[in-house]
Structure 1
Amino acid sequence: MADNSDRYTDGSYMEATQTWHEEDAPFKARHVEALLRDNKIEFESLADVGCGVGTVLRLLSDAFADARFTGYDITEVATAAARERHHDLRFETCGRDLADVERHDVALALDVFEHVPDYMGWLESFRDLARYKIYHVPLDIHCSGVIRGNLTAARLSVGHLHYFTRGTALATLEDTGHRIIDWRWTAGAFEGQGPGSLKKTVANVPRWLVSRASVRFAQRLFGGWSLMVLCE
């Protein structure tokens, strides 16, 4: 199978995204914090694998001041930027095989495994890095996206190799030996801080209206939500 990891190490992924998705860090960090607090998860160390420029880790370290935080990414471009911005946090470059990642109490993989060719094998390896794992999984499969051909666009623009619904995302985690403790929707279409467009604003109107009755149905029709999942 072809390896697409060069796009993350040669700077082309940063060029494609412009921000390494830093604008989404605040809402992701809020949901991670809520999952940990709501489920009374106590921890001394937390790792963010695929940390990008480290903003999620920065926000979580502010919320849990007594814990130790380490960020890992496969590209030195990201970890160098993270070290420059957040001098008091630790950032390391790691391989895709996770051999360089130390064991922690909690490990995060936020919008990561959909980029990995052997995502099932990767999840089985990631499972052993911590007692508690939190995954953020984009849900690319929905009626609107299939009709408009967005799956191919996601593959080309941000490197998604695998596509999930709520059901297949949870089943994938269970099939790789995880026990689901809790999960929740994250509404990137509304919570993300990236630049809005007229097209997105118009699309959010029916998305919001249908979600008042059922978020699950709105996601199936229009997309715009992802899953944040706490596992053991």
Structure 2
Amino acid sequence: MENRYTDGTYLAANPGWHGEDSAWKLAHVRRALKGAGVAETHLKTVCDVGCGAGEAVKLWAKERPETAFYGYDVSPQALTLAAKDKPQNCVFRLGSVLRPEPCNVLLLLDVLEHILDWKEFFKKWTAQAGLIVVHMPLDLSVYARLRPSILKRERETVGHIHFFTARKFLRELDGLDMRVRHLHYTNKYVERPPQITRFISRAGMFIRRAAHRFLPRAWAAYWVGGYSLMLVLEKKTNPGTNCGAV
């Protein structure tokens, strides 16, 4: 599965490596940590696994010069982008066989759905983390099941090989000995609406916005989709403190 990310195919399909979403995504990370009772001033080390072009890490590092930030990715093209204008407190490392530094917070933002054996990947990379922040797309919905082309597009354009509902993913996490310390839903399509010209896409967006406005988030995610989960996790057997382990 690394070929797509190492041979330039993914970069060709996504030339910005989703950097345009970084400020939005980072705002949700910080909201989640605040909701979990974590003070950013207590964070000494933050690791971002599958960091891509590293824009979220770089934005955060510029605001927190006292914190060490590490970004990891298998793609040399992504890390070439990440190296541009990086702050001094930000280090990027190439390779999938590395282990991260022991850290207060480990970020897995839109990563696990790309990994064939995501559970083993998760266990490996979270072994030395205090708290884990996960952003997981909820691709499975009633609407997506009625329109299989949606899942096909997610597989072909952004490389998703696993599809989840909120209940399914939370059940999997429980089996990995993880406790949810904070949870909220995000919806990029509503919060950062794309430019849409096709009638059927505009109709779908209208339905999503209506569901977002009138339904509880869990119901809207299940019925019409377009949502992701933003989670702060801790190990059941070794729960983190206010800033996790270092």
Q: Decide whether the 8 Å contact of 1:127 with 1:177 is kept in 2.
A: no
Q: Decide whether the 8 Å contact of 2:36 with 2:232 is kept in 1.
A: no
Paired residue type of 2:28 = H
In the alignment, does 2:14 pair up with 1:10?
Answer: no
CA gap of 1:132–1:38, structure 2 versus 1, over 3 A, is same
Paired with 2:63 and 2:189, the residues of 1 have a C-alpha distance of: 25
What whole-Å deviation, never above 9, does each CA across 1:64-88 have from its counterpart, x for those lacking one? 3421111111111111211123242
In structure 2, the residue matched to 1:219 is 221
Q: Secondary structure at the match of 1:36?
A: helix
Paired residues for 1:64-213 under 5 Å? 64-88=64-88, 89-95=90-96, 97=97, 99-149=98-148, 150-192=150-192, 195-199=194-198, 200-211=201-212, 212-213=214-215
State which drifts further: 184-193 or 124-133: 184-193
In structure 2, the residue matched to 1:40 is 37
- Residue correspondences, number: 226
Paired with 1:221 and 1:33, the residues of 2 have a C-alpha distance of: 28
Paired residue type of 2:221 = Q
5+ unaligned residues in a row in structure 1: which ranges? none
| RMSD over equivalenced CA pairs, Å | 1.7
How many angstroms does 1:91 deviate by? 0.8
Paired residue type of 1:221 = W
How many angstroms does 1:154 deviate by? 1.5
Q: Decide whether the 8 Å contact of 1:124 with 1:177 is kept in 2.
A: no
Q: Secondary structure at the match of 2:83?
A: helix
Identity %: 29
Q: Decide whether the 8 Å contact of 1:94 with 1:100 is kept in 2.
A: no
Q: Secondary structure at the match of 1:181?
A: strand
Q: Decide whether the 8 Å contact of 1:76 with 1:93 is kept in 2.
A: yes
Q: Decide whether the 8 Å contact of 2:49 with 2:106 is kept in 1.
A: yes
Q: Secondary structure at the match of 1:156?
A: helix
What whole-Å deviation, never above 9, does each CA across 1:16-50 have from its counterpart, x for those lacking one? 12221112111110010111223232321101111
Q: Decide whether the 8 Å contact of 2:100 with 2:125 is kept in 1.
A: no
How many angstroms does 1:225 deviate by? 0.8
CA gap of 1:100–1:125, structure 2 versus 1, over 3 A, is closer
CA gap of 1:129–1:80, structure 2 versus 1, over 3 A, is farther
Q: Decide whether the 8 Å contact of 2:114 with 2:159 is kept in 1.
A: yes
Paired residue type of 1:91 = F
Q: Decide whether the 8 Å contact of 1:155 with 1:161 is kept in 2.
A: yes
Q: Which has the higher contact order (CA 8 A, sep 6+)?
A: 2
